[in-house]
Amino acid sequence: MRNSDPVPAAPRRSNRGDAAAGSKPADGTGRGALHPQAHTPVIMTEVSPFHCLYSDALDFHSQSRQMMVKSVGAASRLARASILLYIEAVESLIHQAAVELGRPDLAPLVGDASRPLPLADAWKLLPAIVADGSVASDPEAPPWPQFAELLTLRASWSYPGPAHKRQAYYRAAYPGADFEPLQPHQIPTGVAITADTLLYPKTGLPRDLYALRPHHLDTARSVIDAAIHAIDRRIDGALTRANRHRREPVRQIHPPTSDPSTD
Protein backbone atom coordinates (compact mmCIF):
# COMPACT_ATOMS: atom_id res chain seq x y z
CA MET A 1 0.00 0.00 0.00
CA ARG A 2 2.81 2.40 -0.80
CA ASN A 3 2.80 5.14 -3.42
CA SER A 4 4.86 2.89 -5.67
CA ASP A 5 2.26 0.12 -5.72
CA PRO A 6 1.15 -0.68 -9.26
CA VAL A 7 -2.37 0.55 -9.83
CA PRO A 8 -4.19 -0.32 -13.06
CA ALA A 9 -5.34 2.54 -15.18
CA ALA A 10 -8.81 3.72 -14.28
CA PRO A 11 -11.24 5.35 -16.68
CA ARG A 12 -11.05 9.11 -16.88
CA ARG A 13 -13.98 10.42 -14.92
CA SER A 14 -15.26 13.92 -15.47
CA ASN A 15 -17.14 16.12 -13.02
CA ARG A 16 -18.74 17.99 -15.89
CA GLY A 17 -22.32 17.30 -16.85
CA ASP A 18 -23.43 16.06 -20.24
CA ALA A 19 -23.47 18.50 -23.12
CA ALA A 20 -26.38 20.88 -22.90
CA ALA A 21 -29.53 19.67 -24.59
CA GLY A 22 -30.05 21.22 -28.00
CA SER A 23 -26.37 21.99 -28.62
CA LYS A 24 -25.26 21.95 -32.24
CA PRO A 25 -23.69 18.79 -33.65
CA ALA A 26 -20.07 18.84 -34.69
CA ASP A 27 -20.88 19.70 -38.30
CA GLY A 28 -22.45 22.98 -37.20
CA THR A 29 -25.57 22.44 -39.28
CA GLY A 30 -27.92 22.57 -36.35
CA ARG A 31 -29.62 19.43 -37.63
CA GLY A 32 -29.57 16.47 -35.26
CA ALA A 33 -28.52 13.08 -36.55
CA LEU A 34 -31.16 10.38 -36.83
CA HIS A 35 -29.48 8.40 -34.03
CA PRO A 36 -27.17 10.84 -32.23
CA GLN A 37 -26.30 8.26 -29.52
CA ALA A 38 -25.61 5.34 -31.83
CA HIS A 39 -21.85 5.66 -31.62
CA THR A 40 -21.49 7.26 -28.19
CA PRO A 41 -19.04 5.14 -26.14
CA VAL A 42 -20.33 3.91 -22.79
CA ILE A 43 -18.08 2.03 -20.38
CA MET A 44 -18.74 0.10 -17.20
CA THR A 45 -16.34 -0.20 -14.30
CA GLU A 46 -16.43 -1.99 -10.95
CA VAL A 47 -15.47 0.57 -8.32
CA SER A 48 -13.13 -0.34 -5.48
CA PRO A 49 -14.07 1.88 -2.51
CA PHE A 50 -10.85 0.81 -0.79
CA HIS A 51 -8.73 2.06 -3.68
CA CYS A 52 -10.72 5.30 -3.94
CA LEU A 53 -10.73 6.14 -0.24
CA TYR A 54 -7.16 5.03 0.42
CA SER A 55 -5.99 7.20 -2.50
CA ASP A 56 -7.95 10.15 -1.08
CA ALA A 57 -6.36 9.55 2.33
CA LEU A 58 -2.91 9.56 0.74
CA ASP A 59 -3.68 12.84 -1.01
CA PHE A 60 -4.86 14.54 2.19
CA HIS A 61 -1.84 13.03 3.97
CA SER A 62 0.49 14.67 1.47
CA GLN A 63 -1.40 17.97 1.60
CA SER A 64 -1.25 17.97 5.39
CA ARG A 65 2.53 17.56 5.33
CA GLN A 66 2.91 20.38 2.80
CA MET A 67 0.56 22.69 4.72
CA MET A 68 2.55 22.47 7.97
CA VAL A 69 4.92 25.19 6.80
CA LYS A 70 1.99 27.55 6.19
CA SER A 71 -0.66 26.77 8.78
CA VAL A 72 -0.62 24.22 11.59
CA GLY A 73 -4.39 24.51 11.92
CA ALA A 74 -4.94 23.72 8.23
CA ALA A 75 -2.46 20.84 8.41
CA SER A 76 -4.33 19.40 11.38
CA ARG A 77 -7.65 19.74 9.57
CA LEU A 78 -6.31 17.76 6.62
CA ALA A 79 -4.83 15.19 9.00
CA ARG A 80 -8.24 14.55 10.57
CA ALA A 81 -9.79 14.01 7.15
CA SER A 82 -6.95 11.71 6.12
CA ILE A 83 -7.06 9.45 9.17
CA LEU A 84 -10.82 8.97 8.85
CA LEU A 85 -10.44 8.04 5.20
CA TYR A 86 -7.68 5.53 5.99
CA ILE A 87 -9.95 3.80 8.49
CA GLU A 88 -12.98 3.95 6.19
CA ALA A 89 -10.88 2.41 3.41
CA VAL A 90 -9.92 -0.65 5.45
CA GLU A 91 -13.51 -1.01 6.64
CA SER A 92 -14.71 -1.21 3.04
CA LEU A 93 -11.88 -3.63 2.23
CA ILE A 94 -12.84 -6.13 4.92
CA HIS A 95 -16.54 -6.08 4.04
CA GLN A 96 -15.84 -6.45 0.32
CA ALA A 97 -13.43 -9.33 0.98
CA ALA A 98 -16.02 -11.15 3.08
CA VAL A 99 -18.57 -10.99 0.26
CA GLU A 100 -16.17 -11.85 -2.58
CA LEU A 101 -13.91 -14.40 -0.87
CA GLY A 102 -15.96 -15.82 1.99
CA ARG A 103 -18.04 -18.95 2.08
CA PRO A 104 -21.61 -18.08 1.02
CA ASP A 105 -23.06 -19.39 4.28
CA LEU A 106 -20.65 -17.37 6.43
CA ALA A 107 -19.99 -14.20 4.42
CA PRO A 108 -23.12 -12.41 5.77
CA LEU A 109 -21.60 -12.53 9.26
CA VAL A 110 -19.24 -9.77 8.13
CA GLY A 111 -20.65 -8.46 4.86
CA ASP A 112 -24.30 -7.84 5.78
CA ALA A 113 -24.82 -4.08 6.24
CA SER A 114 -28.13 -4.67 8.04
CA ARG A 115 -26.26 -6.47 10.84
CA PRO A 116 -23.02 -4.49 11.17
CA LEU A 117 -20.20 -5.86 13.29
CA PRO A 118 -17.57 -3.72 15.02
CA LEU A 119 -14.64 -3.43 12.65
CA ALA A 120 -12.23 -5.12 15.07
CA ASP A 121 -14.52 -8.17 15.24
CA ALA A 122 -14.94 -8.27 11.46
CA TRP A 123 -11.17 -8.40 11.02
CA LYS A 124 -10.89 -11.26 13.49
CA LEU A 125 -13.58 -13.29 11.72
CA LEU A 126 -12.44 -12.85 8.14
CA PRO A 127 -9.79 -15.63 8.09
CA ALA A 128 -12.31 -18.22 9.30
CA ILE A 129 -14.91 -17.09 6.78
CA VAL A 130 -12.48 -17.20 3.87
CA ALA A 131 -10.22 -20.12 4.66
CA ASP A 132 -12.05 -22.32 7.17
CA GLY A 133 -9.27 -21.47 9.57
CA SER A 134 -9.31 -20.65 13.24
CA VAL A 135 -10.13 -17.12 14.31
CA ALA A 136 -7.69 -17.49 17.16
CA SER A 137 -4.72 -15.12 17.09
CA ASP A 138 -2.53 -13.39 19.59
CA PRO A 139 -4.33 -10.11 20.29
CA GLU A 140 -1.22 -8.72 21.96
CA ALA A 141 1.03 -9.26 18.93
CA PRO A 142 1.56 -6.26 16.64
CA PRO A 143 -0.19 -4.80 14.78
CA TRP A 144 -3.42 -5.65 16.62
CA PRO A 145 -3.01 -3.55 19.79
CA GLN A 146 -2.04 -0.60 17.60
CA PHE A 147 -4.93 -1.25 15.20
CA ALA A 148 -7.33 -1.44 18.14
CA GLU A 149 -6.12 1.97 19.36
CA LEU A 150 -6.71 3.44 15.92
CA LEU A 151 -10.30 2.21 16.02
CA THR A 152 -10.66 3.53 19.57
CA LEU A 153 -9.51 6.94 18.36
CA ARG A 154 -12.23 7.01 15.71
CA ALA A 155 -14.83 5.80 18.21
CA SER A 156 -13.85 8.59 20.61
CA TRP A 157 -14.80 11.11 17.91
CA SER A 158 -18.14 9.46 17.20
CA TYR A 159 -18.94 8.82 20.89
CA PRO A 160 -17.21 11.71 22.69
CA GLY A 161 -18.83 11.12 26.06
CA PRO A 162 -19.11 13.58 28.97
CA ALA A 163 -16.97 16.69 29.37
CA HIS A 164 -14.33 15.09 31.60
CA LYS A 165 -13.64 12.59 28.78
CA ARG A 166 -12.89 15.40 26.35
CA GLN A 167 -10.31 17.41 28.25
CA ALA A 168 -7.25 18.52 26.28
CA TYR A 169 -4.15 20.37 27.48
CA TYR A 170 -1.99 23.05 25.87
CA ARG A 171 1.22 24.81 26.85
CA ALA A 172 2.82 28.12 25.94
CA ALA A 173 6.62 28.08 25.90
CA TYR A 174 6.63 31.54 27.50
CA PRO A 175 4.03 34.20 28.39
CA GLY A 176 2.49 35.58 25.22
CA ALA A 177 3.57 32.67 23.04
CA ASP A 178 1.12 30.55 21.10
CA PHE A 179 -0.32 27.57 22.92
CA GLU A 180 0.65 24.16 21.54
CA PRO A 181 -0.56 20.67 22.54
CA LEU A 182 1.08 19.58 25.78
CA GLN A 183 3.54 16.71 25.40
CA PRO A 184 4.22 14.11 28.11
CA HIS A 185 7.74 15.38 28.79
CA GLN A 186 6.33 18.89 29.31
CA ILE A 187 3.88 18.03 32.10
CA PRO A 188 4.68 20.32 35.05
CA THR A 189 5.57 18.73 38.34
CA GLY A 190 2.60 18.39 40.62
CA VAL A 191 -0.02 18.57 37.86
CA ALA A 192 -2.33 15.53 37.83
CA ILE A 193 -1.83 14.68 34.17
CA THR A 194 -0.27 11.46 32.92
CA ALA A 195 1.16 10.56 29.53
CA ASP A 196 -1.83 8.32 28.84
CA THR A 197 -4.09 11.31 29.37
CA LEU A 198 -2.50 12.94 26.34
CA LEU A 199 -1.57 10.05 24.05
CA TYR A 200 -2.67 6.52 23.24
CA PRO A 201 0.09 4.36 24.73
CA LYS A 202 0.60 1.85 21.89
CA THR A 203 0.67 4.24 18.94
CA GLY A 204 1.49 7.60 20.49
CA LEU A 205 -1.47 9.14 18.64
CA PRO A 206 -2.96 12.16 20.42
CA ARG A 207 -6.31 11.87 22.15
CA ASP A 208 -7.01 15.51 21.28
CA LEU A 209 -8.26 15.64 17.68
CA TYR A 210 -6.86 19.18 17.29
CA ALA A 211 -3.39 17.84 18.08
CA LEU A 212 -3.17 15.57 15.03
CA ARG A 213 -0.16 16.34 12.83
CA PRO A 214 1.21 14.83 9.60
CA HIS A 215 3.67 12.56 11.44
CA HIS A 216 0.72 10.97 13.22
CA LEU A 217 -0.66 10.04 9.81
CA ASP A 218 2.60 8.24 9.07
CA THR A 219 1.94 6.12 12.16
CA ALA A 220 -1.72 5.50 11.32
CA ARG A 221 -0.92 4.47 7.76
CA SER A 222 1.82 2.08 8.86
CA VAL A 223 -0.58 0.43 11.34
CA ILE A 224 -3.28 0.02 8.70
CA ASP A 225 -0.85 -1.38 6.14
CA ALA A 226 0.51 -3.83 8.72
CA ALA A 227 -3.02 -4.98 9.60
CA ILE A 228 -3.83 -5.57 5.93
CA HIS A 229 -0.66 -7.59 5.43
CA ALA A 230 -1.24 -9.57 8.62
CA ILE A 231 -4.75 -10.61 7.53
CA ASP A 232 -3.54 -11.28 4.00
CA ARG A 233 -0.95 -13.75 5.28
CA ARG A 234 -3.60 -15.64 7.21
CA ILE A 235 -5.70 -16.18 4.07
CA ASP A 236 -2.77 -17.11 1.81
CA GLY A 237 -2.61 -13.76 0.05
CA ALA A 238 -6.19 -13.87 -1.25
CA LEU A 239 -6.90 -10.33 -0.04
CA THR A 240 -4.39 -8.64 -2.35
CA ARG A 241 -3.67 -11.32 -4.97
CA ALA A 242 -3.49 -9.84 -8.48
CA ASN A 243 -4.06 -6.45 -6.88
CA ARG A 244 -7.74 -7.39 -6.43
CA HIS A 245 -8.27 -4.88 -3.63
CA ARG A 246 -7.36 -2.02 -5.96
CA ARG A 247 -8.60 -3.25 -9.32
CA GLU A 248 -11.28 -1.28 -11.12
CA PRO A 249 -11.78 -3.23 -14.38
CA VAL A 250 -13.28 -1.37 -17.31
CA ARG A 251 -15.45 -2.77 -20.09
CA GLN A 252 -17.09 -0.99 -23.00
CA ILE A 253 -20.78 -1.83 -23.13
CA HIS A 254 -21.84 0.46 -25.98
CA PRO A 255 -21.31 0.15 -28.86
CA PRO A 256 -20.88 -3.61 -28.25
CA THR A 257 -17.35 -4.85 -28.68
CA SER A 258 -15.70 -8.23 -28.55
CA ASP A 259 -12.27 -6.76 -28.00
CA PRO A 260 -10.94 -8.45 -24.79
CA SER A 261 -8.54 -5.55 -24.22
CA THR A 262 -11.46 -3.48 -22.92
CA ASP A 263 -12.08 -5.90 -19.99
Q: 62-73, pLDDT tens digit by residue?
A: 999 999 999 999
pTM higher than 0.85: no
CA gap 102, 128 in Å, rounded: 9
pLDDT reading at 219 higher than 70: yes
Domain ranges of the chain: 42-163+213-262
- Do 213 and 68 contact (CB within 8 A), yes or no? yes
Burial 196-215 (b: 16+ CB within 10 A, else e): eebbbebbebbbbbebbbbe
Secondary element (H or E) of residue 133: none
Listed range (36-40, 76-80, 138-142) with the worst mean pLDDT: 36-40
Strands in the chain per DSSP E:
42-45, 170-172, 179-181, 250-254
- Do 245 and 93 contact (CB within 8 A), yes or no? yes
When pLDDT is cut at 50, 70 and 90, the band that residue 80 belongs to is very high
